Structure 1
Amino acid sequence: MNKKKPKRNYNMDTRTKMASANDKRIMQSIFALWEQLSIHEITLDMVARDAGVTVRTILRKFGSKEGLIEASIEKDVSNIKKERETAIEGDYLQALTILVRDYERIGDAAIRTLAIEQELPIAKKILDSGRAYHREWCEKIFAPFLPDPENPDYEQKLLSFITATEFYLWKLLRRDLNKSREATFVVFKSLVEGLIQQGKT
């Protein structure tokens, strides 16, 4: 009997690892589809086919397409937060390089999501999550250039950095005005350096 126990444990461990791998593939699949299509256009059949699972498996684990999207955001399957976290506090040039690279990757998907924000609650959740994280990121990266959090000017200064590095600015420059990636980076850099200089006076 003792010889059978390790086998059962091994089988359980294997099944757990397989289920975890399936979950990751499913979440990565819907993110990859989001990069290419509007949320309206994405179906669970597409996700299942790309992930190599059944729709029933997806529904059993995540409940719905919306539930799957929320789980994907929470787990950061796109590694967006992971990449942003490599930015060093105070090193705004490195941070802006990472930020613009991030916008280049997900910018068009975010634009499509913006277009349906008022229509689909899950679209608003995606964008609200991004906005909240961008604020946290700016608080960390630009901390050396911000007043003490207790200072009455703190919120206004922080909002200035948030605005100067917002996705909407990338959209304006890259898609509305058709500026190059390099020119877009220069604008971000100019605005941030202006705020830093302003804080020194």
Structure 2
Amino acid sequence: MKRSYTQRARAQSAEANRRRILDAAVTLLSSRLRSDIRLEDVAAEAGVSVPTVLRAYGSRARLIELALEKVLEGMGAELERPEPGDVAGSVTAWFDHYERFGDAVVRNLADESDPAAAPIVRLGRTLHRRHVERQLGPRLAAVPEERRATVVDALVCVCDVYTWKLLRRDMGRPRDGAEATVALLIESLLKGE
């Protein structure tokens, strides 16, 4: 009976370590380039040793891949909080996301020539476009068919992390003013102004 208890306790401890390690990698991914995350950093953040990280995930590449999946899952849920068609709510969700991850995203975009970063950047672009189309889709129905593809392209640009960076970082605009600017641009595009 004691052996069964010991094995169960070890399994629970190993699972708790796996969760802490993955959470640590997710935390680091939100503030650093993927290439800048070392196993030593993950281990320190999780309160475990590097060999424990490797026992839990096998390799740095596998850990980072799983952490990225978790980050993207969380981003998707966060960004889909507002109802489709709600421009102000969608802009706020984008800004919530960019305030949290924008600087790291911009760094990853700058590192796009790195073969490890390129697939992440491509996936991010695809997901961003899909999200813009989902969130603004009900409003796009009123845009004439011959203009719709151009308007979608413009909306993807307006809602992009670079627009956030330009307003918040480069121009130093307060968040509420920056959000109002993006909402104005979206509404202007949707109304054909």
Q: TM-score, normalised by structure 2?
A: 0.81
Q: Which runs of 5+ in 1 are unaligned?
A: none
Opposite residue 146 of structure 1, the aligned amino acid is L
Matches within 5 A, 1:30-69: 30-69=25-64
Instruction: For 1:36 and 1:76, locate their aligned partners in 2 and report how far apart those are by CA, in whole Å.
Output: 12
1:178: which partner in 2?
172
1:133: which partner in 2?
127
1:145: which partner in 2?
139
Instruction: For 2:82 and 2:16, locate their aligned partners in 1 and report how far apart those are by CA, in whole Å.
Output: 29
Q: How big is each residue's C-alpha offset from its partner over 1:148-186, in whole Å with a ceiling of 9 and x where there is no partner?
A: 9xx565433322221110111111122222222222112
Which is bigger in relative contact order (C-alpha 8 A, separation at least 6)?
Answer: 2
Instruction: For 1:77 and 1:50, locate their aligned partners in 2 and report how far apart those are by CA, in whole Å.
Output: 20
Q: How big is each residue's C-alpha offset from its partner over 1:10-55, in whole Å with a ceiling of 9 and x where there is no partner?
A: 955x666544443332222123223344444321011012112332
Opposite residue 128 of structure 1, the aligned amino acid is R
Q: TM-score, normalised by structure 1?
A: 0.78
Task: Indicate the percent of aligned positions where both proteins have the same amino acid.
Answer: 33
**Cα distance change of structure 1 residues 118 and 143 upon mapping to structure 2, 3 Å threshold:** same
1:98: which partner in 2?
93
1:109 lines up with 2:104 in the alignment:
yes
Opposite residue 44 of structure 1, the aligned amino acid is L
Q: Retained in 2: the 8 A contact 1:38–1:113? A: yes
Shift of 1:194: 0.7
**Cα distance change of structure 1 residues 170 and 28 upon mapping to structure 2, 3 Å threshold:** same
Shift of 1:107: 1.4
Shift of 1:97: 0.8
2:22: which partner in 1?
27
Instruction: For 1:122 and 1:110, locate their aligned partners in 2 and report how far apart those are by CA, in whole Å.
Output: 14
1:84: which partner in 2?
79
Q: Aligned residue pairs: how many?
A: 190
Q: Which runs of 5+ in 2 are unaligned?
A: none
